[in-house]
Amino acid sequence: MAKSSKLIAAKRGRILLVRRRRDRLWMFPGGRRRSRETEKDCLRREIREELPKLKLGRLKLWRAVKAKNPRSGRKMSDAIFIANKASGRLAIGDKQEIDKATWHKPRGRGIRLTPTSRYIRDKLFPKRG
């Protein structure tokens, strides 16, 4: 099982990102799995904690990533889920951890992603060229 779960939600060509308070880096919402918790249960709990007003449709596992990030050297162990629908306000629940949430273009300017979120973004939304 993966150590953490991440959510990919897209709407009108934009992806859902949250900003960590401690380093102001943006990431896909989610977090660490607790013992005896499935990856999907972990994601649902984390979304309830971080973005309590967000309503999600069906969650589908896109990929379980167990790899070393080539850029950062960090080991990744993430279950990455895609939501077929997301609605509701982006109200922050855990203000100690998250200070902002937004819908942003996958390759828009002004967003510094965490290494894991950059890896996920690059796999799902490759550069056109």
pLDDT tens digits along 30-80 = 999 999 999 999 999 999 999 999 999 999 999 888 878 777 777 888 899
Contacts of 114 (CB under 8 A, 6+ apart): 20, 25, 26, 27
Q: Which domain holds residue 53?
A: 4-124
Q: Summarize the confidence of residues 84-98 as an average pLDDT.
A: 93
| CATH number, position 11 | 3.90.79.10
pLDDT of residue 129: 63
Q: Would you say residue 71 lies in a domain?
A: yes
- Residue 32 tokens read as 């660490």
pLDDT tens digits along 100-124 = 999 999 988 889 999 889 888 988 8
47 vs 34: CA distance, rounded Å: 14
Q: Would you say residue 32 lies in a domain?
A: yes
Cβ–Cβ contacts within 10 Å for residue 112, how many? 11
Q: Would you say residue 85 lies in a domain?
A: yes
**Number of domains, the chain:** 1
Q: Would you say residue 103 lies in a domain?
A: yes
pLDDT of residue 28: 95
pTM: 0.89
Q: Would you say residue 129 lies in a domain?
A: no
Contacts of 105 (CB under 8 A, 6+ apart): 13, 14, 15
24 vs 2: CA distance, rounded Å: 25
Q: Would you say residue 40 lies in a domain?
A: yes
Pairing mode, strands 75-83 and 4-11: parallel
E strands along 25-104, which residues?
26-27, 30-32, 55-56, 59-68, 75-83, 86-87, 98-104
Q: Would you say residue 33 lies in a domain?
A: yes
